[in-house]
Amino acid sequence: MGVTTSTTGAHFALQVLTATTPVLVCFRAAWDPQSQHQRDVLRQIAQTLTHRVQIVCIDVDREPELAVHYQVWLLPTLVLLCGGRQVHRIDGAAPAPLILRELTALL
């Protein structure tokens, strides 16, 4: 856990919705510079929150149905899921200290 991975719609249910630990989903796009920066931030967070949260990235261009389902209108968007249910979200790029503070309060 804690490692940032990518997934597709076909594996989303298995990797995310049925996960026994909280999952932070980053909705992003390869062409978006903010998304690229956020991915680097998430790597830092993965190291800090090892064994407490799984981090998964979704490319909205490849998985538009998931983006619509989670009402992603701004990139990047972070959605925290616990037991398959959304418990928190951050719309737009956010610095590591803010994400860590918010996640730590929820985990």
Tell me the pTM: 0.88
Query: Cβ distance 28 to 58 under 8 Å?
Result: yes
Domains along the chain?
4-106 (3.40.30.10)
Q: What is the mean pLDDT of the chain?
A: 88
The ranges of the chain with pLDDT < 70 are: 1-8
**How confident is the model at residue 80, as a pLDDT?**
95
Q: Which helix (H) or strand (E) holds 13?
A: none
**Alpha carbon 21 to its chain's center:** 13
In this predicted structure, what is the pLDDT of residue 7?
A: 67
Structure tokens at 93: 């790029």
The H or E element containing residue 76 is none
Q: What is the rounded distance in angstroms from the CA atom of residue 77 to the CA atom of residue 54?
A: 16
Peptide bond into 22 cis (omega under 30): no
Measured in whole angstroms, the distance separating CA 42 from the mean position of its chain's CA atoms is 8
Per-residue pLDDT at 3: 46
The pLDDT assigned to 2 comes to 45
